[in-house]
Structure 1
Amino acid sequence: MYLDDNPNYKTVWQLAHHWAGLDPDKTDTSAIPSPLREHIIRLVIAIRNRVITARTRSGVVFADNSLITIFEDIPHYIKTRICLTWGIFKKPYLDSLYVKREEVIDLCIKSYCDFPPCWTPKRLPYESSVPKETKNYRPADENEDRIRCQAIASTLWELDPAIHPVHMVQSTILQRFGNGRNYGEETIKDWIKSVDPQKKRKKGAPPKIQYKIPLIKDPQLGN
């Protein structure tokens, strides 16, 4: 099969380990190190949001929104939700999902994160000597960042609709992977309100409740 011994494909389990500088055959799944956890979550969120394509030996996962595909993908929805919600990382499953080199590189470029050492390009595919124009002193990739923030927020709200927008905006996952650090909190809240499952939330300070998934406040935001 074309996935076997193909340098352009690695499983989520393999790639996340190479990214973190760890041996994929020696990790204790009951004690996943934080850097490895971060890389796995990044890849799984990208797969769920169809930012990158995941393949198994049976075919593409989350190919489209057709009824047939959704029905076939139910096991993948469940397994990825377990991964994102409860932080349970099952090696057999993650080692069955293959991702493609060029799509991961593109993800890294758009997310401003380091490339996996095994797939670091010798030359960036979108290098240009002409810088992007910015308008009104806003980041040039604002539209891409808005879509990225909405995709992340939508995924997290799918896992737990109770998450308050303030906590969503301040979370490390949205600030870092959604490039939220480049914008004010009100801007991001305005972006994600269209995907908020609870359109009418009570005004005032967000309630102090335990969410189904751990949301860590971005340390760069301070107290």
Structure 2
Amino acid sequence: MEKEPIIALDFPSWEQTEQFLALFDQEQLYVKVGMELYLQNGPFIIERLKEMNHRIFLDLKLHDIPNTVHQAMKGLASLGVDMINVHAAGGVQMMAAARAGLDEGSINGKRPVLLAVTQLTSTSEEAMQADQLISVPLHKSVLHYAKKAEEAGCDGVVCSVLEASAIRDACGESFYKVTPGIRLKDGNVDDQQRIADPREAREIGSTMIVVGRPITKADDPVAAYHQVKALWEGRS
């Protein structure tokens, strides 16, 4: 289990990102760069974060035809990020193409961890069934995607805490269960549906947790981060 919670840098600009990171007085963090930050600023963001010695989860959720994903991953691998993802809904062939692209494009023999997004933590079972025409219960959809991701050569999945233990039982302890939707007990739920606090995530079986607004929107982001970290490590 990773000791550091992953902080979601959900900012539109490098200036805001830099101001936030400056609060941590050069502490080395594990951070998530999503579509908002990466698509508006490009590889420059990754270069700067690496210069600051932060570990990076590049959260772009690629979903396209296998050849396009293969070529995109081949290029993204050269950035030297630590973790990256695709949508499991793209299918086994697409996920396998993503893995092949990472293998080909990785630098210094170090390939980023490849994750597949199962169902977004903002998706409820009712919404999944109505919008995606998936008739099975949500946890069965997530478990199915996890098994397909393992078959395709992914290292793990992005899922909610609520599915982490079932995926561990089906795919093994070493298969990553990276869980967003982390909220503190006294915090806002925001647009998330399937949530848990850091202690619950640790107890249920998450491998890594991703925390955004409970830290970035807190009155004291550093204190909030260390509160989350203490709960995640079982010290609080």
Which of structures 1 and 2 has the bigger CA Rg? 1
Higher strand share: 2
Q: TM-score, normalised by structure 1?
A: 0.29
Larger RCO of the pair (alpha carbons < 8 Å, separation 6+): 1
